[in-house]
């Protein structure tokens, strides 16, 4: 079975620029997650979708981060404008449902200079 796909794998931008990440979950998975993993820390949930509805976005910095999951399949995460502290790996994961095991993509490593 195909895994969770993410692109790009690496991105370098200057502060105040914008960036977008794309995620394609495993087919049939209703729940999609975006995490931010800063070096030396565990993943921190940014936003969780159930189909195309938002379940949890309590830790999403909404003044600069946005995410959507149109049609309940693919998802994009956008940062505008980026700050230095946004440098991290952005992980996408999907699962069949809540509390089911999550399948993680390879991540996008973002460097903000």
> Under the rule (CB under 8 A), what is the footprint of another protein?
3-4, 33, 40-45, 48, 55-56, 58, 91, 93, 98-99, 101-107
Of 84 and 98, nearer to another protein (C-beta) is: 98
Q: Which is nearer to another protein, 42 or 71 (CB)?
A: 42
- Whose CA is closest to 108, among 88, 94, 93? 88
Q: Which is nearer to another protein, 25 or 43 (CB)?
A: 43
Q: Shortest distance, CB of residue 26 to another protein, whole angstroms?
A: 12
Instruction: Find tokens 């995410």 and name the residue.
Output: 67
Name the token pair of 13.
């931008």
Dihedral sign from CA coordinates of 59, 25, 81, 37: positive
């Amino acid at each position: 079975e195909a895994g969770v796909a993410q692109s790009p794998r690496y991105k370098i931008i200057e502060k105040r620029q914008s960036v977008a990440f794309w995620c394609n979950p495993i087919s049939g998975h209703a729940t999609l997650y975006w995490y931010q993993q800063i070096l030396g820390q565990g993943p921190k949930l940014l936003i969780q979708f159930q189909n195309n509805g938002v379940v949890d976005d309590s830790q999403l910095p909404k003044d600069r981060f946005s995410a959507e999951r149109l049609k309940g399949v693919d998802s994009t995460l956008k940062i505008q404008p980026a700050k230095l502290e946004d440098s991290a790996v952005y992980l996408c994961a999907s699962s069949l449902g809540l509390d089911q095991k999550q399948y993680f993509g390879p991540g996008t490593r973002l460097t903000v200079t």
